Amino acid sequence: MVRADAQLNAERLRTAAQEVFAERGLGAPLEEIASRAGVSVGTLYNRFGSREGLIDGAMTVLLREQVEAITARAGACVDAGARFASYLHGLVEMQILTPALAQSIAQAPPGSELAKECATAMEHVAAALAGAIDAGVVRSDARIDDVTALLVANVAVISAVNADSARRLTSVVLAGLRQ
Amino acid sequence: MVRADAQLNAERLRTAAQEVFAERGLGAPLEEIASRAGVSVGTLYNRFGSREGLIDGAMTVLLREQVEAITARAGACVDAGARFASYLHGLVEMQILTPALAQSIAQAPPGSELAKECATAMEHVAAALAGAIDAGVVRSDARIDDVTALLVANVAVISAVNADSARRLTSVVLAGLRQ
DNA sequence: CAATAACTTGAGGCATGCCTCAATTTATAG
DNA sequence: CTATAAATTGAGGCATGCCTCAAGTTATTG
């Protein structure tokens, strides 16, 4: 059985991890996360097993929330081209808002919860892309991998240049994908 | 005065650094670089002062060579649009061929030799971009920063996805920049 | 209110890698 | 050939951070 206090600690650790990873990157000392959660390192390891496990546990929830919002906004677009554009812009804004999430996605180990959640999200985007191609507003040779590449690219641009450059890059890519 | 053997050691260290950084990334243990150069860590520090200094010393030469070749090829293009395109494609291929160089550029500290060399190279590219805009084959609101963003982006795409994705991204961006 | 399974704790062992500096060696000029 | 300035050496001190586990604490169930 799982004790109630253990679950509470896990929750606190997830929250602390989101904060600390945002402030100091995914390599932040786990001691800091533990202490911010009001708990010892030992407990962190008891709950999540490893840094990888903690990243997975903390980021998957975050991703799900963000993707729901993005999907809702995109779904409101009637036009297929606008829907695809809405996805791209929504995803960049998510990356800008939560760079640690973006980074953890870019290096999510295959098979992790995060990778699965990500794959699910990309299915929606792929559908929007297919719709845009059918509507004739996007080049027929565009692939979902191009979107993946853009997202990976943005992670670097946001951290090494700035948010606006990532927005610009996204717009340019979108222009390049239109036919 | 500077002793001849010291210069030789510096040269050997530069070469070893290029190899090891290529194989194991810019964070590779300096002990390995020293031993591959047939020298002790102490000597490495005597010659380059720090990891930063070594990266700067080893990569600046490499960059200069590559950029010369790229510039020569681009200069052979008569058409302004083709010249700009040639620069972009040439730079991506350089990034693919020497990812460690690409990465060191992306994180070159301001004021370093590498940053200066890089700025010089970007002047050529900026001129090509201006030419392409004048010729009316590239959007007039395109900026040299867009190229910088693309190069930073490619570093991530090459290491986290693959070389072909970076090539595709570059082509898409080029299409997006054309008007 | 036991009895016990679940959980927490944090000091400490381990690994990695940076960088230094006193002792030693070597190139070079005169 | 000698004097000496220039270089090299590498063991070792330092810092960081991971992860473990034996001892102690606490929730839960009957």
Q: Which two tokens stand for residue A93?
A: 């804004």
Question: CB–CB of A21/A58 below 8 Å?
Answer: yes
A163 touches B at CB < 8 Å? no
**Helix or strand or coil: residue B97?**
helix
Question: CB–CB of B16/B33 below 8 Å?
Answer: yes
Quickly give B42 CA vs C29 C1' distance in Å.
Answer: 27
* Of A106, A107, A168, Cβ closest to residue B149: A168
Measure the CA–CA gap between B102 and B94, rounded to whole angstroms.
8
pLDDT band for position A179 (50/70/90)?
Answer: confident
Question: CB–CB of B57/B48 below 8 Å?
Answer: yes
pLDDT, tens digit (0-9, with 9 covering 90-100), for B118-141: 999 999 999 999 999 999 999 999
pLDDT, tens digit (0-9, with 9 covering 90-100), for A162-173: 999 999 999 999
Mean pLDDT by groups of 10 residues along chain B of 179 residues? 95 98 97 98 98 97 96 97 98 98 96 96 98 98 98 97 98 95
DSSP labels for A82-110? HHHHHHHHHHHHHHHH-HHHHHHHHTPPT
Measured in whole angstroms, the distance separating CA A100 from the mean position of its chain's CA atoms is 8
pLDDT, tens digit (0-9, with 9 covering 90-100), for A45-63: 999 999 999 999 999 999 9
Measure the CA–CA gap between B59 and B77, rounded to whole angstroms.
28
Measure the CA–CA gap between B23 and A95, rounded to whole angstroms.
30
What's the whole-model pTM score? 0.94
Q: B178 to chain A nearest CA, in Å?
A: 8
| List of residues 6+ apart from B65 with CB closer than 8 A | none
Task: Show residues of chain B in contact with A96, CB under 8 Å.
Answer: none
Measure the CA–CA gap between A94 and B96, rounded to whole angstroms.
28
Measure the CA–CA gap between A179 and B16, rounded to whole angstroms.
47
Strand D: positions under 7 A of a protein C-beta atom: 5-12, 16-22, 26-29
- A51 beta carbon < 7 A from strand D? yes
